[in-house]
Amino acid sequence: MTVLILFACAAYCTGESSFAMKIVADSDNITEHPHDDNPRQYLCTVCDKRFTTKRSLTLHKQTHNVDKLYSYTQCEKRFTTQHYLRQHMNVHSSKYKCTECGKCFRSKEKLTIHRRSHSGEKPFECTVCTVCNKRFAVSHYLVLHNRIHSGEKPYKCPEWDMAFSQSQDLTTHMRVHTRDKPYKCSLCDKSFSTSSSLQRHKRYVHSNRRPYDCRYCGVQFTSSCQLKFHVYTHTGPKLYSCRHCSDCFTHYHTLKTHLLKSHLVHMSHLSEEI
């Protein structure tokens, strides 16, 4: 392993290109996002990324249809071209390092964009709508945003009459048809179609953290939605009254629970009581 690391590093320093190892393709490593500030007229129809030159687009397309041949032994990440591998090695060599937080990047353009997260600079302004006035730190985000105003939705679902402005939205939607659930919970055997669903599951089911407090009674909840639903019991109109006592409730289900627990009404008689 040490020999391979030295060989890869030596090739990087000398500009040689003989270090390569055939391995199995791994789709999780298709993470190239070369967004700089130049006009990008070459669009990848597979993943919605744009490039300034046709050669860059050609190189990028290889990430979708060939095995990843080049592996950096220090971290075992895999790449389709030596160009992408050399860019990745810049991360390990700290060639493009942020002086604010110490994070390293594969290119000068990536570092420039990252620095805007510290400075708050957003040089790309929406000019399509005079009311919008939204600004973005990356030009590609502006391109995606403009589709909201233009109504452009180039990514169509082959099953339903639906279209999306971004390829990732279509990918997520297609899981409705394929029933694919790639996000697996590490704490139980459940799987989810989106990352947000997984995070919500972990927060509701596996976490004891309840950061949302009711200002009226102090009861704590795991999510803001649960808190809003609960607060309504304090602030909303109490339309559901109990015929056995003077209690009134804002939610139908709360009255049902009250009847079952406080007046021992049987489930089969609930409809008669409400």
Is 85 found in the same domain as 8? yes
Mean pLDDT for the stretch of residues 69-85 = 74
On whether the CB atoms of residues 62 and 80 are closer than 8 A, the answer is yes
Mean pLDDT for the stretch of residues 123-152 = 81
Domain that holds residue 258: 212-273
Is 158 found in the same domain as 190? yes
pLDDT above 60 (res 122): yes
Mean of pLDDT over the chain:
76
Tell me the CB-side half-sphere exposure of residue 19, using CA atoms within 13 A: 23
The answer to the question of residue 101 being in a domain is no
Mean pLDDT for the stretch of residues 124-146 = 82
Q: Specify the pLDDT at position 271.
A: 66
Please tell me whether residue 212 adopts helix, strand or coil conformation.
strand
Look at residues 178, 221, 207, 168 and name the one whose alpha carbon lies nearest to residue 30.
168
pLDDT tens sequence across 224-269: 888 888 888 888 888 888 888 888 888 888 888 888 888 887 776 6
The answer to the question of residue 102 being in a domain is no
On whether the CB atoms of residues 146 and 156 are closer than 8 A, the answer is no
Instruction: Quote the tokens at residue 10.
Output: 């030596």
pLDDT above 50 (res 25): no
Q: Specify the pLDDT at position 31.
A: 35
Please tell me whether residue 64 adopts helix, strand or coil conformation.
helix
On whether the CB atoms of residues 28 and 79 are closer than 8 A, the answer is no
**d(C-alpha 175, C-alpha 194), whole Å:** 9
Tally the domains of the chain.
3
Extended strands (E) in the chain: 42-43, 50-51, 70-72, 77-79, 96-97, 104-105, 124-125, 135-136, 155-156, 163-164, 183-184, 191-192, 212-213, 220-221, 240-241, 248-249
Position 196 confidence tier, pLDDT thresholds 50, 70, 90: confident
Q: Specify the pLDDT at position 11.
A: 39
The answer to the question of residue 236 being in a domain is yes
Is 73 found in the same domain as 156? no
Look at residues 197, 232, 202 and name the one whose alpha carbon lies nearest to residue 216.
232
Place of tokens 């409809």: 271
CATH number at residue 268: 3.30.160
Q: Specify the pLDDT at position 35.
A: 41
On whether the CB atoms of residues 96 and 108 are closer than 8 A, the answer is yes
- Is the pTM higher than 0.75? The answer reads no
**d(C-alpha 6, C-alpha 13), whole Å:** 11
Tell me the CB-side half-sphere exposure of residue 209, using CA atoms within 13 A: 8
The answer to the question of residue 197 being in a domain is yes
Q: Among 16-20, 151-155, 160-164, 266-270, which range has the highest average pLDDT? A: 160-164
